[in-house]
Structures are given as C-alpha cells and as structure tokens.
Structure 1
Amino acid sequence: MSMLLTPYDDEFFSFHIACGSGAGARGMAKARQRVGLARGRIVTLGGVDVDPACIRDFTRRTGVQGTVLDLFPREDYIAFHGRLPPPGWREATAEDLRRAAGYRRPHIVFITAPCKGASGLLSESKAATPKYKALNNLAENCLRLVIEAWGDDPPEFILFENVVRISVRGRSMLDRIMARLDQGGYASAETKHCCGRLGGLAQRRPRFLLVARNRAKVPAFLYEPPMRPLSTVGKVLEPLPPPGDLSMGLGHRVPALQWITWVRLAFVEAGKDWRSLNRLAVEDGMLRDFRIMPERPWRDGTLGVHGVNDSCGTITGSAGPCTGAFNVADPHVITSREGTGFLGVNPWDGQSGTISGDARPSKGAYAVADIRTRDGKAPFKNVYRVVEAGEASPTIGAGARPSGGGLCVADPHFQGKEYQQYGVRRWDGQTGTVSGQSLPGQGAHSVADPRCANWSPSAHVNKYKVVDADDSAPTVSCAVQVASGGLCVADPKACTSHGGGGKYAVVALDGAAGTVIGASTTGHGAYAVADVMPEFARGGRQHYTTGGHYGVNEWNGQTRAIPAYAKNNNGAWSVADPRDAQGEAPAGRLPDPKDRLVCVIRAMDGTWHRPFTTLELAALQGMVDPGEPFELDGASDSRWREAIGNAVPEPAAEAIGNVFLQLLMLVRAGKQQPIRHTPIWVRPVAIGAALDVPPLLI
C-alpha cells in the first residue's frame, strides 16, 4: 500500500514576542529540514509588539496577524514614561499571549526585547536610570508571561536575542531569568554569536543569545548552527538597482545631504571615518592642496584631447581647442618638415619618411644608424681611436699622431707613481715597484688592512664602546672609565626598581603596567601610556571618536551591525561605490555649504562615497527579497531605518530555526541525534548542552 506524503509532514510552531517588523519570524519560517522521508518546516503562530506600525509590518510581511500589546508591568510603565498609564490601559496577561497565538501552543518562543538600556550607545549613568532599568526588565516580564501562558505544556525552546552588553549591564536581571528557567525545567546558557556569520551576511553583528531547552521534552544535544564566511558589501548591493532607482520602492532614495557633508564623505578614505580628515591641510577654512571644480557646463572639456579609439562629442560651430574636447591623440608618425623628426636618425632595419627637396638632418629624420664597417680611405678614419692591448695597430705612417689614426693603446700596465697619489692597495692585491719616494702622496703606497686595529695599547678604537650582553668584556684595567674602552654593556633586562629604573617610560596601550606604588608619577617609573585616542581628536566625546562617524565602508568589505538610527553622521553608514553614478549632471556652480542636495563627487579613490540607502540597509540585514519591492509602514526613512536596525537578520534567524527544526523532528521521530562537526550550543555551560543521561550516538 502506498502512502501519499503531504508537502510538509512535520510542522512546528513559533511565537514571537517584541516581534518588530517580523524579520525574525520570516527568517524562521524559511527553515527547512528533512529527516528520513519526512520534511519539516516552522509555521509562525503570531507576534506581539507595542508599536502599531511594527504590527502592520509584521502582518503584511509574514502573512500572519500580529497583536498590539504593551508588555510593561504598571510600575515599569510609569518608570519608563514618567507618567501614569492612559485610561483603558491594562497590564498584559497570559491570556493575551494565548489569544495572540491563536490558542495554539508554540514549540519555539523567540523573545527580542528592546535593547536600548544595554546598548553601548547609551552612557553608563543613563543606563542606570529607572527609565532604562524598566526597559531592561521587559525581558524578565516576557518570560514570566510565557511560563504562565503555557505552563502545563511548555515550549521546547525559548530564545532570547539582545545586544552583547546586556550580559554586563543586565547581569542581575539575567541571573533572575536563568533561575526562573531552571525552576521551569529548562537547561539554559548564555552565548555570543556573530549573526553575520550565522547568515553569511556582509555585516559583523555580534549578538547575545540565551538558549533554553526543555529537559523533559528535548533530551538531546542542540548543536550550534554552522558558521558561514562573511559576504561583502559589494556582493549584496550589486544585484540591486542603481541608487535613486525607485523600482523597488521609496527606500532606494539617496539621502539629500548638505553640500559640506558630501565634501567630507568624498575626502574620507574608504574603510575609515571622519578622523582621516585630520590629515588634510586646511588654511583659513579652505583645503590647501585640493580644489573642487564643477564638471559642467562651463570648462567642459576645454583643451580636451580624445583618445584615438574614442568617439568625440557633438561638433559645434566654434569647434576649437579652447571651446571643448576638439583634439585627438594621433599615433601616426609625423614626417613633414614641421614635424618632430629634426636631426632624426633612422634605424638600419627601418624605413625613412618621404624624401623632400630639402633632405638634411636638421630638416627631419634624414640620418641613418649605419651598422657597416667603413673601409677604404677616409679623411677621418680612426681619428683618436684607441687600440685594445691585444689588438694589432694600423700601419705606422709619417704623421703618427692620435688624430691621424688608431695610434693609441689601452695599456693595462700599472701606471707610474705620479698617477697613483694617495692610492690604497687592496689586502689581497699587489703593490707596484717600491721606490725611494714610497709615501702616500707619491703613489699607491697605502693598504686597506682588514685586521682588527686594537693591537696597540694606545689605540682609541674602543672608546665609548658598548659590549653586547652575551659578549665577553675586554681586560679590566686600572683606568676603568667609559672613555677608556669597551666598558659599557647593552643590558636587555628592564630595570623596574623604585630606585629610578624605567623613569619616564611609556607603556604600550595593549601592554601591562608595572606595580603601582605610592610615588606613581612619570618621574618614578613606567606610569605613562601610549593612548591611541588623542585628546585633540576626541574633543571630550569618546563615542564620537570611536563610533565611526562619517565612516565610509569599502565595497569589498563588511559593515558593522546596523543599528536603529543608521545615518551618515553617526557611524560608518556610507559606501565607496565604484559603479558609474546615475542621475543628473552636476550644476555649473558649487553649492552653498548648507544646501541640501543629492550629488556625485568623485572621491580620491575614484569611487562615489555616498550614504547607504534605506533599501541597501535592509538588504544588508537580509530583509530584501530579490526582485520584489521593499516596503514598510509609512513613508518616513527614519522610521524604516529604526525598524531595520531593530530587526534580527532573516538569514541568521533561518540558520537558528534550522537547528531547532532538525532536533524537533528527530525527537518526534524517536531518532537519535547524529554527531555533527559544529560545536554543541551553549558550550560554555555544560547543563545547557548535554543530556541528563549520556546519549547513544549514531
């Protein structure tokens, strides 16, 4: 009897709390696994969020109805908003979660509570205020509601996603969450993953992931998702339409920036940020070494020269060199008398130009490099010729003079002392004849002696000499002074005693300092540091120095994690685009520094340094489907960018969903977990990874 398989034999359900615009849900819904003949997938039950715009996005992008729900307890609502709740407001209950899930039990609960309170963008003092403490507490309240909602049949997996810093700033809250999970029958552990490597993205996005596995329902290993190599910005953006093309939605608009901002971006080196502008020379508020000129319409091609294989522009009535590009780089040989062949010499195996009536060397290339030997009588034959020592001389005539023929010889014999004044002989050579006047000034009567010159007690060659630490010292004499010989040593041991060693030493930023003592000043030891963040560049704003403001990403590099407020002036959210820019021609004048416009300035590296469009940021997050317009609620770029930055990258959520799905299918089928090459998840804490009893592995 044959059995007809349904498209998906195993379906498991996920529910999303603080779901945002649905990127995490969409990613998990893309997970697909096969165990034997069975095929499985993850189905989204629903999601809850306090933002109605996010719920509209969630519903449209996932195809599942989301629910607007405020997850604050009353006291945290007051602490965060600074006011009482409005009339009709009430705290969320477990019943609200069950209703939002369609009264079906999820196998996976994905909690992505707001992370602003733990973000590095927030100062320590502000993060410690009641407002942001209340925001951090949302994760704990979400878990309480999940356990109350499905306590009789708990989900197999609970996953928290947040910023890495929450493990420090939210330490006490996380400890309470771990304790509550343990009481609820879950093995859990905190891990850190780069979502860029989980999903093969073009961004480095380290995130905190707390994974909880129900010990009773899932008595098996949970392996980490496989890590994938990072992609590049150019590989992600290349398939998209050129920036400014709105065929995929309004999100592909190029932001209109102030002219001065475009200029700054153009001079930032690709892969760096605003600090590279410090290397530019500025005098009286102007760049000393550079000028910016508009390309059109004036001075367009003036005195321009076309390549011989290029096409020229339109021929106008005033087609002169000074009115446009009306010149050509002509590779043809110029042979006219007005040409450049004056005193030209033709090669013996080449051709000459046209023979004119006035064919003289000064009129063109009318000379030849004759390789033949001239024989026969000639009036100037061999004039001043020097015969080699091994050659025969020509016939000695009556006029035997140098100017009369080859009557000179290259004599290799040693020339007399009168030509060797102050000569120095080589150690392995010979001297000439020793005469009665054997003085340096009379000939080559000196020698380059390679032997050590310290044989004489009166020699001064060792004065102030420093002996290597592993060498032996010379004899210690009664005149034991530095100037008396090699009586100093290059000591490699660092002197760190209080008695003066290490005075004014500067410790490297990544090195360790010496022991801090009572007299810890620069004059007493190594109590200075080579700080890579100079105060003149910092200006008292630490994050502005290190946050990559006005940063330009390389086309073949990766971005940082995309935050909720990704703008060109608050991080590295611009790109050095090497593609030809599309759009209108620049104006014929330079704009005012504060004029807001979209323009193209060709940067020093030949690329267009421009901000990422909103669509491109969504593509870097894995939220864009090829060929389909990208749209979120409303028409505000800032609102779209906030939703994109808060999203879990869809490919990363898909990778996590795949490992959950495979293990759930194995448990349902009663099969054992095969050994995989990836590490066991929650590796730092054994209880979150191992079976309660040793498993049988196949």
Structure 2
Amino acid sequence: MNRVDVEIRHFHLFSGIGMGAKGFNRGSARVGNLTAKFRCLGGIDVDPAAVRDFGRVAGVPGTVMDLFDREQYRAFHGEEPPADWREATPQDIHRAAGNERPHIVFLSAPCKGFSGLLSESKSKTDKYQALNRLTLRGVWLMLEAWQQDPPELVLFENVPRLATRGRALLDQITAMLRSYGYATAETTHDCGELGGLAQSRKRFLLVARHLEKVPPLLYQPQTRPLRAVGDVLGRMPLPGDLRAGPMHRVPSLQWKTWVRLAFVEAGSDWRSLNRLAVADGVLSDYLIVPGHHNGQIGVMAHDPSGTFADVEAGSFSVADPRARRGAAQYQQYGVRRWSDTSGAVTGQSAPGGGSHSVADPRCPNVLHNNAFRVVRYSDHAQAVTGGTGSVGGCVADPRRSGPAFGKYAVAPWESAAGTVIAGSTTGQGAYAVADPRSGMAADREAYQSGGHYGVLRWDEPSGAVSAAACHDNGRWSVADHRLPVCTEHLAAVILSEDATWHRPFTTLELAALQSLVDPEEQIELDGLSDQAWRERIGNGVPPAAAEAIASEMGRTLLLAWSGETFALSMAPVWVRPTVAALMVAQGNIA
C-alpha cells in the first residue's frame, strides 16, 4: 500500500519564540496509508524580539501585532496608543497566516494576570484585567478570521490557576467556542510527563474539536516518567565553557547569594539555612576556606573544640535566614539534587526566586577529588593508598587533653612543663619552651631571618623577585584585602559539604530542560540579555510536549479524513461527543 502524505497546517496566536510551533512541526501520525506532515503557517506576538526568534525556531516568519483593543491598550499602558497604532482585525489574523486556513490553532495567551505569583489584589487592577481580557479577544479574532471554514481543532494553553481565578473569563471563551460549533474539554496536564522532560510543568489545556468536521474522539497524549535533571545537564559542557556560546555562561550573582546556595542542602531550599549556627553575624560551625585548585572555595566544618583554627570569616559568609516567611511554596534559593527533576522553567528562573540551582557533582578542574581532605573523627577513612599526601589521609582529632599529648608541643615560659619522658626529644613530651630570652633585638640585622613565610602588607613594595621565589623561602605572600563584599557580583565555585557545586542553571540549560534544544546543541536568541532570554524561554510551551499533543491531534484528523469515526485506544478521551450531545440537549450550543 503506497504511503500518502497529508498536510496538517498549524497557526499560533501569542506565539512567543515559537517553541510550541517547533514541537508541532515535529509531530507525527499515521492511519493506514495516510501519513501526517505538519506545516506551520506562522505566528503572532507583540514582542519584536520574540518574533525574530520565532523565525529561527519555527522556520517560518512571524508577525508583530498588538491584539489589544483601544480600551485594553489604555488600561494596560496607562496612556493613549501612538498615532500610527490601530486595532487588529480578523483580516489581519488571516493575512498573518499567509491567507491560508489552518487545521489546528494553538493559543498561549499572556498568563501573568492569572499566575499564582501575582497577588489577588494586584490581579484585579485595571492593568491586569485588560491583559486577561486579551485572552478572550484573541479567541474571538481567531474564530472570526476563519468563520466560514473553521479550524478543525483549537488548543488553548495557560496556567492552571486560570480555571479558578479566571473562571468567568473561561466560561465566556467556552461559550464562544461552542457557538461556533466546537465541543470543549478542560484538563490540567504536566507538560513534563507529556514530553518526557526533566522538569515538572503543570499547565491548563482547553481543547476544542469542531463537531461537524471531526467526528472521531480526540484522545489524550500518552504520558511518560519524568527524568532526572542530571540526565540532561550531564550531557552538556560545564557552565562557562566558551564552546557552548554566551547562553551557557555562569550567572553573575551577589557573593552572599553564592554562600547561601553553598549551604542549602541539595533537595531542599532556603529553610535549611535555619539549621546553621550564626553568632554575631558569622557562621560559628563552618569555615569558607580557599581550595587547592583554580580558586575554588570549600566549605569545612568548624569544630568548636579547636580542631580548626577559629578565624574571622567576615560578614560575607552569613547564612542569612531572613527569607520571606510563609512563602515556602516559592522555595527561595532551592538547590536541586543531580538526580531530581527540575521545577517548571519560568521567566523568573533566578536562584533567589525558586529551586533554580543544581548540586553539580562535576566540579570544574578538580583533578583529585579528595586531595588534602580532612575526615571527621566520627567518619570512616578513605581507601589507604601509597600516596597519603593526596588522598583522605588526615583526621580531625578532638583528643587534645593536655600538652604532653600534643605533637611538637611548646610550653609557655610562664607555664609548667609536661611530664618528662624517655622520648622527650623531637616529637612528643616536655621538649620545647617558648623562651623570651633570645638576646636578638629587632634592630640587629645580622640576626634577622630571610623572611621565610613572610607576608607583605598591601601598601608596601615587594622585594626583588628571584628565580627561587616561593612562599616558604621569603616574603612572597601578601595580605590581600579584596574579599568579596556581600553585594559584589561575581561567578564563584564553592564546593559544598556534599562535594558538589551548588550553582544556578545557565540560560542554555533552562532551554535544554524546556526541550528547546538538545543538550548537545547550541542556540543564540535575539539580543544580549539573559533576563530577556529566560523570560522568553520560560513563557514557551516545551516543544517535546507540543510534539506529543500534535501527534495525537494529527491521528484524530487522519481518522476523520479517512472516514473513520472510532479508534480504540487505552488513553483517556480528551473531547468526547457525549459531552457535546448533553450540551445540545440543554440548549447550550447556538
């Protein structure tokens, strides 16, 4: 039986950068010898940068168009529109689709007015009410553009809270669709499960099926298990690798934010900071000390018995628990485990605004993962090897009961000596004293040393640099005061106690979690702003989820066009004809 390719055309209102369109382009369906071939007719968005991205992502040009009516424009912007502005008409929508008729229309209207991140009182202001009404106007423009030959299927996507906060508006949209001959269904899906993603992204989906054109049932797409975030990020180069492009750069965060992330337990959020002990604004049970490779910084336990020297950590290392109380659902400074699923990627995917950081075990440039590691007295040792200088060959021993026990103990001049034993020579016992009677005055130059382990002040000159210059044979160290202040922005690597780098997701990683790109791919969106990129990525529908929806819709259309009215499936029915029949019986369809 020869294969017959059947074109399925799709069009996108409030298209963003075209992530949904990209997914629909990849849709696949086959019924008998009919094979679906999806083609995008275009998209409409008010953001010129997003429309430029749409052309690259969806493969066809988009159209910049403001869909507000004049009253909505005034309410949203607080001023009259410019002189060359005019209201969009159904004919404009038709032209934006190349004067062709789509079989599927996908609408992803602005959702800020319905989002749970917006307070109830603010959502009721004129500005956001106008934005909400834009949703209704967009559906009306679409229906009027093709009223003589309606699209077979309409998909309306938004945040789940639309079903409650926007109930009155949603009822109007549903009634409008039914008046044009559509049966509708409202569902909430996890786009991560539809696309097999490494993020959980709950979204509201309203599906409308034209009863006359599409008799077969429309089934819900199959769901798949969520993946671990490390499955995606592990295939990507380390953040900051120039080969991955500018979207993979490490965000420049305030120093205090890096410290907070380092002390957040993987799999938890800012609330784990409350378990830290802070005395006079300084961590009393941890130190942040320089690491041994490429400027990394390590987190070490600070034993109050004196195993580690008590140093002034500085105000920059405060584990500040003053995050907003009662807002646990937002999980400020949350750090995901490498094996966990990511949360929904949004336009505000910053480390201080949610669980948008990851405990990355791939710490950059660490050649020996446990070099010079100090093991807790209560922990087990690492493997005993011949190279004890580069493995876990040290222990934090709290048994400091007296000077006689201490190796190389030096008794103060005014103190009693330890017990004199047979081995009081060069390692243990009463063998050394701090004798103030050196007889070497500071001004006797002949008795001064060569400055071994000498530390210069920041404001004094260095000595002559010789070929043998090293920290232990002269004054080759400096008292550098340039520690980061709390608000200084930088990219820092702090090895947390779990030996991972708690860091934010890069913009490219967010794009990969959204399935906009494969982990091995690169992409550069319009402009140079990470914030703008993240907003456009977060506003998009994951292409992998859109592909799953498109494939199921394509199967339904092929069934309708081949004359089939029923197909057996184990998947739940998305839009069933009995619902529409009940509506007709109750007089709800014009």
Structure 2-normalised TM-score? 0.73
- AA partner of residue 570 (structure 2): H
1:531-550 equivalences under 5 Å are 542-543=326-327, 545-550=328-333
Q: How does 1:328-339 map to 2 (within 5 A)?
A: none
1:565 aligned residue (348, 364, 375): 348
In structure 1, the partner of 2:504 is 611
Alignment of 1:271-350 (within 5 A): 271-296=267-292
Q: Does 1:687 align with 2:470?
A: no
1:147, distance to aligned residue in structure 2 (A) = 1.2
Amino acid paired to 1:218: V
Separation of aligned partners in 2, 1:678 and 1:574: 35
Residue of structure 2 equivalent to 1:314: none
The alignment status of 1:666 with 2:559, answered yes or no, reads yes
Aligned to 2:138: 142
Matches within 5 A, 1:591-610: 591-610=484-503
Q: SS in structure 1 opposite 2:30?
A: strand
- Report what 1:91 is aligned to: 87
> Is 1:54 aligned with 2:50?
yes
Aligned CA distance change for structure 1 residues 124 and 209 (closer, same or farther; 3 Å): same
Distance of 1:554 and 1:190 partners within structure 2: 34
The aligned residue for residue 114 of structure 2 is 118
**Whole-angstrom CA distance in 2 between matches of 1:583 and 1:209:** 46
Query: What is the alpha-carbon distance in structure 2 between the residues aligned to residue 172 and residue 198 of structure 1?
Result: 28
User: Aligned equivalents of 2:263 and 2:491: distance in 1?
Assistant: 17
Which residue identity lines up with residue 59 of structure 2 in the other structure? G
User: In 2, are the aligned partners of 1:197 and 1:227 still within 8 Å (CA)?
Assistant: yes
Query: Contact conserved, 1:220 with 1:691, CA < 8 A, in 2?
Result: no
2:383 aligned residue: none
For residues 290 and 483 of structure 2, the distance between their equivalents in structure 1, rounded to whole angstroms, comes to 7
Whole-angstrom CA distance in 2 between matches of 1:297 and 1:29: 47
Secondary structure at the counterpart of residue 203 of structure 1: coil
* Counterpart position of 2:361: 578
Number of the residue aligned with 1:200:
196
Structure 1 position 296, deviation (Å): 4.6
Is the contact made by 1:71 and 1:91 (CA closer than 8 Å) also made in structure 2? Answer: yes
Partner of 2:131, secondary structure, is helix
How far the C-alpha of 1:686 sits from its partner, in A, is 5.1
Alpha-carbon separation, structure 2, partners of 1:582 and 1:146: 54
**Pairs within 5 Å for 1:3-402:** 9-296=5-292
Read off the aligned partner of 1:290 and give its amino acid letter: Y
Q: Contact 1:573–1:612 (CA<8 Å) still a contact in 2?
A: yes
CA 1:563–1:688 in 2, change beyond 3 Å: closer, same or farther?
Answer: farther
SS in 1 for 2:271: helix
Tell me, what secondary structure is at the counterpart of 2:169?
helix
Q: Tell me how far 1:38 sits from its aligned partner.
A: 2.3
Q: CA-to-partner distance for each residue in 1:378-403, whole Å, 9 max, x for gaps?
A: xxxxxxxxxxxxxxxxxxxxxxxxxx
Q: Does 1:551 align with 2:444?
A: no
Query: CA contact under 8 A between 2:75 and 2:127: conserved in structure 1?
Result: yes
Contact persistence 2:293–2:365 (CA under 8 A): no
8 A Cα contact 2:153 2:207, kept in partner: yes
Could you tell me how far 1:539 is from its partner in structure 2? 7.1
- d(CA) in 1 for partners of 2:538, 2:223: 22
Instruction: Give distance in 2, aligned partners of 1:166 and 1:299.
Output: 48
Query: SS at the partner of 2:38?
Result: strand
Structure 1 equivalent of residue 441 of structure 2: none
Q: 2:143, 2:150 within 8 Å by CA — same for their partners in 1?
A: yes
Percent same amino acid among aligned pairs? 54
Q: Secondary structure at the match of 1:293?
A: strand
Distance 1:40 1:630, change over 3 A: same
Between 1:636-645 and 1:288-297, the stretch displaced more is: 288-297
Amino acid in the other structure paired with 2:166: G
Distance 1:225 1:41 in 2: 18
Following the alignment from structure 1 to structure 2, what is the Cα–Cα distance between the partners of residues 583 and 252? Answer: 20
In structure 1, give the amino acid aligned to 2:527: G
The higher radius of gyration belongs to 1
Q: How many Å separate the matches in 2 of 1:98 and 1:651?
A: 28
Q: Secondary structure at the match of 1:594?
A: coil
What SS does structure 2 have at the residue aligned with 1:177? helix
The total of aligned residue pairs comes to 451
Measured in 1, the distance between the counterparts of 2:31 and 2:362 equals 45
Residue deviations 1:541-589, cap 9 Å, x none? 543x43111010111111211111110111111000011324999x987
Distance 1:540 1:638, change over 3 A: closer
Gaps of 5+ in 2: 297-319, 369-477, 586-590
Cα 1:593–1:641 change in 2 (3 A) is same
Distance 1:298 1:282, change over 3 A: same
Cα displacement (A) at 1:610: 0.4
Looking at structure 2, the residues matched to 622 and 297 of structure 1 have their Cα atoms a distance apart, in angstroms, of 34
From the superposition, tell whether residues 539 and 244 of structure 1 become closer, same or farther in structure 2 (CA, over 3 Å): closer
Query: Residue by residue, what CA displacement relative to the aligned partner does 1:194-223 show, whole Å, maximum 9, x if unpaired?
Result: 111000111111100000000000011110
Compared with structure 1, are the counterparts of its residues 584 and 115 closer, same or farther at alpha carbon in structure 2 (3 Å cutoff)? farther
Task: Work out the CA distance in 1 between the residues paired with 2:235 and 2:322.
Answer: 39
Task: Call closer, same or farther: CA 1:96–1:190 in 2, change over 3 Å.
Answer: same
Residue 196 of structure 1 aligns to a residue whose secondary structure is helix
| Structure 2: distance between partners of 1:228 and 1:287 | 44
- What is the one-letter code of the residue matched to 1:564? G
Q: Whole-Å Cα distance in 1 between the matches of residues 276 and 535 of structure 2? A: 34
Q: Tell me, in whole angstroms, the C-alpha distance in 2 between the residues paired with 1:298 and 1:598.
A: 13
Find the aligned partners of 1:140 and 1:640 in 2 and give their Cα distance.
Answer: 27
Distance 2:185 2:79 in 1: 36
SS of residue paired to 2:10: strand
Q: Distance in 2 between matches of 1:604 and 1:670?
A: 64
- Normalising by structure 1, report the TM-score: 0.62
Shift in alpha-carbon separation, 1:218–1:256, aligned structure 2, 3 A = same
Deviation at 1:252, TM superposition (A): 0.2
Cα distance in 1, alignment partners of residues 42 and 129 from structure 2: 28
Contact 2:512 2:519 in 1 (8 A): no
Q: Shift of the alpha carbon at 1:626? A: 4.9
Instruction: For residue 212 of structure 1, give the secondary structure of its aligned residue in structure 2.
Output: strand
| Contact kept? 1:221, 1:689, Cα under 8 Å | no
Displacement of 1:297: 8.4
Q: Matched residue of 1:132: which SS?
A: helix
- Shift of the alpha carbon at 1:538? 8.1
User: For the residues of structure 1 that align with 2:197 and 2:324, how far apart are their CA atoms?
Assistant: 34
- The DSSP-based 3-state class of the residue aligned with 2:88 is coil
Letter matched to residue 211 of structure 2? R
CA offset at residue 298 of structure 1?
12
SS in structure 1 of the partner of residue 42 of structure 2: strand
Task: Classify the secondary structure of the residue corresponding to 1:292.
Answer: strand
Residue by residue, what CA displacement relative to the aligned partner does 1:86-116 show, whole Å, maximum 9, x if unpaired? 1110111111111110111000000000000
| Contact kept in structure 2, 1:212 and 1:688, CA below 8 Å | no
Distance in 1 of aligned mates of 2:236 and 2:573: 37
- Matched ranges for 1:439-454 at <5 A: none
Secondary structure at the residue paired with 1:32? coil
Q: Which SS does the other structure have where 2:209 is aligned?
A: strand
Distance 2:525 2:581 in 1: 38
- In structure 2, the partner of 1:623 is 516
Provide the C-alpha distance between the structure 1 equivalents of 2:294 and 2:543, rounded to a whole number of angstroms. Answer: 49
The one of 542, 550, 569 aligned to 1:657: 550
- Give the letter aligned to residue 332 of structure 2: H
| 1:55–1:68 CA contact under 8 A, matched in 2 | yes
With over 3 angstroms needed to count, the CA separation of the structure-2 counterparts of 1:231 and 1:72, relative to structure 1, is same
Q: Tell me which amino acid in the other structure corresponds to 2:41.
A: L
**CA offsets per residue over residues 464-490 of structure 1, 9 Å max, x none?**
xxxxxxxxxxxxxxxxxxxxxxxxxxx
Match runs of 1:393-432 below 5 Å: none
